[in-house]
Every structure is written in structure tokens, then in C-alpha cells.
Chains A and B, each alone.
Chain A
């Protein structure tokens, strides 16, 4: 097919974005959407941290607080983290695999455009609630435990339909990724020669297709219980509230790896480029990704040790959870071995990548402690847990994505970004992140449960520190936005191979790349 006049035929203005089937346009929209959601979820949690700055209720009543923490969780996971990764995949997969575009461009358009209405659906009740209409948004925590989710107001119904749409969007995007990776690779690029990032996202897409239908079914059961007289989660009618926990965590635990795997795929590219040395242990990393993918769907109930489980159940979920430390350790080993005896330089992508490796390392190690079914009683639903999963998720879904964005930004825009400001961004984020979440380990050990708008006096100092940290962390993202806008508008011209040590097909294209990445398929090796 000919691409002689692609640009003349493009619609302009809003229509261009609404109708586009181009992977770069859609990738950009995903990334911008994720950024807007990051700021939304961030603003929500800043309000929460402001309330927690001191004991007592200063800014809000508990019902509003519960809405904010719930929306923060849902917005960050489904609105920011997943679309950010999908945005990266959209931009990069065709360029890395040597394809002109994604395999299913219309599906691609559709999977993105389901997202904004879904996000709107989620937050509409919140805004209406602020305006005094209705009971506000879903306020059950992002885990939506029944029967609380059956008792609560109609914000929950909005959340249910929103989850349906987000799920549909994820599944469509995943199908697209899988089809693209399996069918569109350049001649000579066998699966085991494929870039790590493609492997990471292939595993994520596989997981999403396994888990999202389960969540969609689960929330539909909640909807049925709420309005149509079923009793899936009501003991009085023969149901079981703990059944919801199983359904939710069957989605919820793999979801963590859905967020991790694309980043675990992208980071080796960054480390290798700035160490000027090939990726260490490619095969071992690929097999580890497989192992993580498999293990992640069979360990979910370690989130439920306090719900009262049989001894056999506790032992199984404890020991299987510990097993995940093995493939993860392989990844860490390979990441560090990639650096070892390289010739490192520390531009912003490298800083973010190293920040990810270090902080995620601590998040992972604290997770090992949480796996102990007996000791878990002390950690579970305390701030120790909150600190743990933020050490796992912030470095992954924000720092990891930042590393990838800074790494590929010159490729996307054709300009080098402001290196000095980007480094400032990293250090502000690094300090803010640790100041926010480190005190939460201690306040959790001292006995502070999560999801409370007010706390006993002995938790005051740590909370104050954490609130100050969160403000710093919030500011760091504004620096990021400034750097990106500056880079889009202009800057030093980026070469095709923007980084000295960068390798891969995407660096053979011009910066910025042509609208259709590869009109003629490149041949690999």
C-alpha cells in the first residue's frame, strides 16, 4: 500500500485526534491522558495528606476522605499507570519491531477513546457530590470490599460501569499488542531476538486478558447484589463476602505485575544504553518474565491472610508468594550485571532507571516480609503495607515511566530536553518519594491503620513528615511537565541515535520519526 500523501489526507484539529489510527498519535494521547490522570490522582492524595498533616479533622469529613482515597487508587492504577505503559507501547512497539504501525489501528483508536468517558464516569459522582448532588463517588477503597460496596451510594454504580469500560479498553489494547508482536516483527527478528520491552508488554497483555474479565464479572455480581436481589456476597442469602476478596485479588495481584512488566522490559534498554554495554542475561530475563507472569496469577490470597484462611491455604499462599522473589532476583541480578564494568554516564533516563532499581528493590524486599502469613497480621492494612506498595508502585509506574519517557523523548520530538532541569526533577522526586513513604513504614509498625482520616496522637510526627514529603513529590511532577513542554517546542536537534549507547531499530529512524514508522521492513541480522 502506498503512503505517498499521508499528511495531506490528515484531518486537522479535533478530528485528527478523534479519528486517528496512527500509533504515534494514539501513543501521545495515551501518555497525555495518563499525565492528566496522574495530576488528578495526585491532587486528590495531596488533599488527603493535607488532612493528615495534623490529628483532628481540619479540611474534610470522613465521607469525603474515603472518596478521595478510593478515587486516588482507581485513578492512579487504571487512569495513570496502565495508560502510561500502553502509551509507551503504542509509540515504541512498531518502531522497535520494524513495523509501519500497530496491527489493528482502528481497534487502537477505539481502545483509547473508551478511556476518557470511563474516567469521567468514575469522577462525575465526586464532582456532583461536591456540588451537593447525590452521595458522592465510590468510597469503599479501591478494593471495593463487599458488603460495604453493596451498602454504599450510587457512586459505586458509576465505578462499576467505569471498571467495565476500563477493562474493555485494556483487553482491546492487549489484543492489539499481542497481534502486533506476534505478526509484525521485522524479518529475522525471532521472538528470542525481540527487544526486552516487547517481551515485558507481551506478558502484561497476556495477564490483562486473563484478569480483566474476572474483575468485570466480579463488579457485575456487585451490581446484581445492589439492585437485582442476588446474594453473591450476602451471607443471609447464602453468599460469602470473602468471595469478593478472592475475585478482586485474582485481578488485583497480577495487576501489580501488569504495572511492573512493561517497565521491567523498558529499563534494560536504558541501563544498557547508558552503561554502553549490551543487556546482560537476555534469556534469563525473558524466562523470569514468564515465571513472574505465571506465578502472579496463583498467589492472590496473600492479600487476605487476616480474613481467616485454613492452615493449608495460608501455607500455600505464603510459600508460593516467596517463590516470586526468585525470578525478581534474577531481574535485579541482570540489571546490575548490565551496569557492571560498563562505561556509565548519568543522564536523566539513567538516573530514573537507577532510582527505579534501588527503590523498587526496597519495595520488593519489604514484600518478602509481608509474605509471612503469621507476621502479616501486624503489617496488613497498616501503614507498613501502604509504604511497601508505594515503594513498589511509585518507582515502577512513575519513575520507570519517566526513565522511558526521557529516554525516548528526543526520538519522539526531535529535540533534546533540558538535561539540567530533568536532573533536578529526578532529585526532587527522589527526596520527595522517600520523605513521603519512609515515615509510613514506621508509623505502620507503631500501629496506624490505613484509610483513616484522623489518628491517635503518637502518629503525629511521622504523618507530618510524610505530608511534607508528598508536597515535594507533587512539585516534582510540575518540573516534568515544564521540561516536556519545553522539549516539544524546541531545543537542540536530536540525532537519529539520540544516545551514544542506544541500540535497536527505533534509533535507525529519524528524530522525530516519519508518520508511518517503517514503510519498508528492515531486516534484522
Chain B
């Protein structure tokens, strides 16, 4: 634990208590801070835990003393005073409050003032921007300067959650596509959401910021040492709130640039593939993967849905109606419209900004030709691409 001064710390004290027990590597305090903000918070926290523990022990030691000495069974005669009577007693009565005010507004208040200002300063000297979008129940990360955008969803298999398989080391705190950021750079994060309020939290960074639909919120992070940092959504956001982890890989600058390069190459390949004609088999294969990653948690792996909460896709009316009209335009309220633009006031997210053309085409094709449906329709990535930018 790296600390800024030599104060005896409650965390360390409790850690020492725990050492040697079977819980030796158990956490009794915040994770080791990875950012200046987290270090600051840990410092304030330790100091304050110490102060309130001292207050608590001191106050209740007085009470315990009184309970022991001033008891009827020891023949103690009750006094009759109901308030301070002399100048000395008034002094005794007022001193605790002076101390309390000093703790509140000086010991506590001044560092808190600076911390609030530091915390809020996400723009000055920011070297890059990452946009975080919460959606039920995954995170989308976007690097506007690089044009990179991807979705990060939990990768823990359902079998582990349902106790049908042994749980892995990072159970529930692992994702398919982690956020990758360079160490040592001040990064301005912008949060928003497409559906309900989420909250992006990585304890080692000392930040937690709500993702509010329709609004932008911000915070900043400067990670001091490389590593893998884990956290999760901290605002109840519906059914799978518990299964919305955050994983951040903080890597050295060179490695980060390499990663950015690889992402760009992959995106170019994807963009190219969107332009060509896909076969049904290709679409179905990709569609199955997209479905399982994005749709199955509500509509269920077999497409049967959850009655009353999430509609079944198997035999859904929408599947029988065409996805596109003969001129290639969206059918309002139709299948492709719902996938791309979502359904208002429901958990159905607008996927047009979440999935790319090929993924949308594939998943729609898959849903229309699997899960008990057999329309024979194919939707091509090029058709989806053509719809983008057109009026919805």
C-alpha cells in the first residue's frame, strides 16, 4: 500500500490483524490506488476512519465508564443536574463542538475542497478522450480521435453463474473486449447512456460517474502503473445489472499505439466486408454469435423470450412482416427498425450505434431464419449501410 505520509492507518492496522489468518490476502480496505485521485481518496479515507474511530472509542469509553461506575447496583446516588452550571462546565460542554467543527471544516473540509476541484478538472491538460456509453447490460467505448468504437460485454459463461461449471478466477469481472488505455496520460472520459442510468466504476481509479441517458457527464483518469483493472456498474439498471463489468487494460504508450493500429486494420477489413454480398451461411454464422452476445440475455438463447417482460422472437409477428419495403426503405415498427432504432421506453436498445452494418445484417438474418423462424429473407450489410443517415 503506497501512502503519502506516515500516519498510522486503520487499514494497515486491520490488515495486520488479518495477516496470518486464512484471510491473509483478503481486502479490508480500498484496492491499491492506480490514479492520483484514488491515492487521494485512500489517504482521506484512512485519515477519516482513524478520526471517527478515535471519536467513537473516546465517546463510548466515557459512556462505558459511566455505565460501570454510576450504577444502582453499586449504590451510586443519582445526581440532579440538567445542564452546565458553572463557567468551567460550560467550557467542557462547548469544547467537543469546537473540536467537531474543526474536524468537519478544517481537517476534513479543506482537503475535500481541493479534491472536489481536482476531481472536476477533466479538461485542462487532457491528452485524449474516451466516450463511455452504458447500455443494458454492457458498455460501449469510443475513441473519437481514432475512430475506434466497440462494445464490451461480460464474458463469464452462464454455466458458471448457474453453478453448472466451476467459477473462474475473474468470475463476473471479465469481458470480451476490454478498454485499453495508455498509462501516464490524462484521459478525459465522457459518459452517457442509451437507455437507463448506469454508473461506471473502477475502484482502483477512485472514480465513479453516472451514465445518464441523453446527457453527457465527465471525469478524468491518469493511470500511473500498467495493469488490468476491474470494476462494475454501480447503479441498478435492470435485470443484468450485476453482469455489467468494466475491465481496463492500462498499457505503456507503445503497446497502446500498436493496439490502436490493430483496431484500425480490423475496422477497415470490416468496412470492406460490408460492401460485398454475403452468403446466407456467412450471415447465419456471424448472426448467431452477435445474437448470443447481445440479444440472448433478454430474448433467451432459444428465442422464447420471458413472457410479460421480453417478447419471444420465435413465431413473432414482426418476423413474418418484411424487414424492408420493396424500395429498400425501413418498415416503421418492423423488425430491422426495432433492431436499429430500438423501442421507446423499453429495454430494447437502438443497436444502430452499437453494432456495425455486417453485425446488424447478420443478426437480423439469423433471427428471421433460426429460433423457430424460417422466412428465407436475407439482409445484406450493404442494405443496412444504405439505411444509415436516412431518416428513421
Contacts and interface: CB of A to CB of B under 8 A. Distances in A.
A280 B84 CA distance: 9
A223 B240 CA distance: 24
A341 B82 contact: no
B70 A344 contact: yes
Contacts, number: 294
Interface string A147-162: 1101111000000000
Contacts of B160: 56
Interface string B101-133: 100110011001101111110000000000000
Nearest to A147: B196
Interface string B265-281: 00000000000000000
A417 to B, nearest CB: 20
Contacts of A354: 63, 67
A322 interface: yes
A134 B306 CA distance: 11
B359 interface: no
A281 interface: yes
A282 B240 CA distance: 51
Contacts of B37: 374
B108 to A, nearest CB: 7
Nearest to B77: A343
B46 to A, nearest CB: 11
Contacts of A342: 66, 70, 76, 78-79
A314 interface: yes
Contacts of B52: 365-366, 368-369
A191 B390 CA distance: 72
Q: Which of A284, A315, A332, A337 has the most CB of B within 10 A?
A: A337
B108 A372 contact: yes
A369 B45 contact: yes
A12 interface: no
Contacts of A366: 52
Interface in A288-308: 306-308
B201 A368 contact: no
A510 interface: no
Interface string A213-254: 000000000000010000000111000111000000000000
A372 B78 contact: no
B78 A345 contact: no
B34 to A, nearest CB: 13
A279 B242 CA distance: 49
A522 interface: no
A369 B48 contact: yes
Interface stretch (A172-180, A256-264, A375-383): A375-383
B218 A308 contact: yes
A365 B214 contact: no
Given A319-B105, A374-B40, A456-B173, A461 B96 contact: no
Given A145-B197, A344-B71, A279 B82 contact: yes
Given A134-B308, A306-B209, A308-B218, A326 B101 contact: yes
A373 B116 contact: yes
Interface in B57-78: 59-60, 62-63, 66-67, 70-73, 76-78
B161 interface: yes
A366 B67 CA distance: 24
Interface string B224-248: 0000001111111111111100000
Given A366-B52, A369-B52, A62 B241 contact: yes
B41 interface: yes
Contact of B172 (A62, A284, A455): A455
Contacts of B258: none
Contacts of A235: 212-215
Contacts of A520: none
Contacts of A280: 81-83
For the side of the interface on B, what is the size category?
A: 35 or more
A151 B117 contact: no
Interface stretch (B24-32, B142-150, B249-257, B380-388): B24-32
B109 A319 contact: yes
Contact of B234 (A281, A332, A368, A380): A380
B66 A365 contact: no
Contact of B162 (A57, A339, A377): A57
A321 to B, nearest CB: 10
Interface string A433-475: 0000000001001110111111111100100000000000000
A455 B101 CA distance: 39
Given A57-B162, A442-B28, A456-B172, A282 B82 contact: yes
Given A62-B242, A306-B210, A318-B116, A374 B30 contact: no
A355 B76 CA distance: 22
B338 to A, nearest CB: 15
Nearest to B160: A56
B241 A276 contact: no
Contacts of A382: 234
Contact of A375 (B45, B238, B306): B45
Contacts of A319: 105, 109
A452 B77 contact: no
B110 to A, nearest CB: 11
A446 B31 contact: yes
Nearest to A63: B239
Contacts of B79: 277, 340-342
Contacts of B345: 147, 150-151, 226, 234
Nearest to B76: A343
A483 to B, nearest CB: 23
Contacts of A357: 63
Given A278-B80, A375-B41, A343 B71 contact: yes
Interface stretch (B163-171, B318-326, B367-375): B163-171
Given A276-B78, A344-B67, A373-B116, A458 B27 contact: yes
Contacts of B118: 374
Contacts of A283: 83
Contacts of B112: 318, 372-375
A492 interface: no
Contacts of A58: 163
A381 B48 CA distance: 19
Interface in B195-218: 195-197, 199, 201, 203, 206-210, 212-215, 217-218
A232 B322 CA distance: 35
A36 interface: no
B44 interface: yes
Interface in B334-374: 344-347
Contacts of B82: 278-282
B56 A361 contact: yes
Contacts of A141: 236
Nearest to A362: B56
A501 B218 CA distance: 59
Contact of A453 (B97, B201, B217, B242): B242
B3 interface: no
A344 B344 CA distance: 64
Interface in B10-54: 23, 26-31, 37-38, 40-41, 44-45, 48-49, 52
Given A135-B309, A329-B97, A361-B59, A308 B67 contact: no
Contacts of A345: 71-73
A336 B59 contact: yes
The 7 closest A-B pairs by CB, nearest first: A235-B214, A374-B115, A308-B217, A452-B242, A447-B203, A446-B27, A365-B52
Interface of A: 55-58, 62-63, 66, 134-135, 140-141, 145, 147-148, 150-153, 226, 234-236, 240-242, 275-284, 306-308, 311, 314-315, 318-319, 322-323, 325-326, 329-330, 332-333, 336-337, 339-346, 354, 357-358, 361-362, 365-366, 368-369, 372-375, 377-378, 380-382, 442, 445-447, 449-458, 461, 501
Given A311-B120, A381-B208, A453-B242, 19 more contacts: A55-B171, A62-B239, A234-B345, A275-B70, A280-B81, A283-B83, A333-B96, A339-B63, A342-B79, A345-B71, A346-B67, A361-B56, A365-B55, A377-B209, A378-B38, A380-B234, A456-B173, A457-B167, A457-B171
